């Protein structure tokens, strides 16, 4: 891995029926939820593959070297930590300790995320300390920073509508500059699927 290049961190869950999109699965079933998640993973691969930066996929449970994340384009690692905040914090700490200057993290739940959003986020980090992509459910689909601010990952009510608001409160308390990307939809529940039925195919 190289020193001062930009890095995108991609957090994914290993695609296993019953383990992914569990809130969605409660109403549409495990197999359909898995199918939707696999389509979201494919969208995320397509969006990130051509980005002019290093890319690392962090798996939730185990590294799969035989899946569709081509090792010629994507480095691979495993998430470490007891909750989402700890796992993201450890990923950013790894990025900065490895010499990256502008790491971004995204999940794999956002069907409207495109390459331009990510490129714009990297640009924002040239003049702001933090960049956030707000999700309509009150969380965020992207976070980037130009220094390691572990406070942004502690004492959060993950997977609730409070995440974005609490993160912005931390940014304000730390007196950091922040830029926001357009608000997009994360797919978590059946009601989120209204415009995205094509993901079922």
> Does 150 map to a domain?
yes
Task: Judge whether 201 lies within some domain.
Answer: no
In a domain, 199, yes or no: no
Q: Show the domain range for 166.
A: 7-192
Query: Is 162 within the bounds of a domain?
Result: yes
2 falls within a domain: no
1 domain-assigned? no
Number of domains in the chain: 1
Domain membership flag for residue 28? yes
Please provide the DSSP assignment of the chain as one string.
--SSS-EEEEEE----TTTSSHHHHHHH-HHHHHHHHHHHHHHHHHHHHT-SSEEEEEESS---TTSSS-TTT-EEEE--SSSHHHHHHHHHHHHHHTT-SSEEEE-S--TT--HHHHHHHHHHTTT-SEEEEEBTTSSEEEEEESS--GGGGSS--TTSTTHHHHHHHHHHHTT--EEEPPPB----SGGGGTT-GGGG-
| Domain containing residue 16: CATH number | 3.90.550.10
Task: Return per-residue pLDDT of the chain as tens, 201 residues.
Answer: 344 589 999 999 999 999 999 999 999 999 999 999 999 999 999 999 999 999 999 999 999 999 999 999 999 999 999 999 999 999 999 999 999 999 999 999 999 999 999 999 999 999 999 999 999 999 999 999 999 999 999 989 888 899 999 999 999 999 999 999 999 999 999 999 989 988 987
pLDDT of residue 2: 41
Note whether residue 197 is domain-resident: no
Question: How high is the pLDDT of residue 129?
Answer: 98
């Amino acid at each position: 891995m190289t020193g001062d290049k930009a890095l995108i961190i991609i957090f994914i869950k290993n695609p296993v029926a019953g383990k992914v999109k569990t809130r969605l699965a409660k109403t549409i079933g495990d197999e359909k939820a898995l199918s939707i998640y696999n389509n979201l993973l494919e969208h995320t691969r397509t969006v990130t593959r051509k980005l002019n930066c290093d890319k690392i996929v962090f798996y939730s449970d185990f590294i799969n070297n035989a899946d569709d994340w081509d090792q010629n384009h994507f480095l691979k690692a495993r998430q470490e930590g007891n909750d989402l905040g700890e796992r993201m914090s450890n990923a950013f700490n790894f990025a900065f300790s490895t010499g990256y200057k502008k790491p971004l993290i995204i999940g794999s739940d956002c069907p409207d995320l495109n390459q331009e959003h990510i490129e714009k986020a990297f640009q924002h980090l040239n003049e702001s300390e933090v960049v956030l992509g707000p999700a309509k459910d009150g969380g965020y689909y992207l976070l980037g920073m130009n220094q390691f601010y572990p406070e942004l990952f502690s004492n959060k009510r993950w997977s609730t509508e409070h995440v974005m608001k609490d993160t912005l409160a931390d940014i304000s308390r730390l007196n950091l500059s922040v830029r926001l990307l357009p608000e997009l939809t994360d797919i978590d529940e059946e009601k989120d699927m209204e415009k995205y039925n094509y993901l079922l195919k």
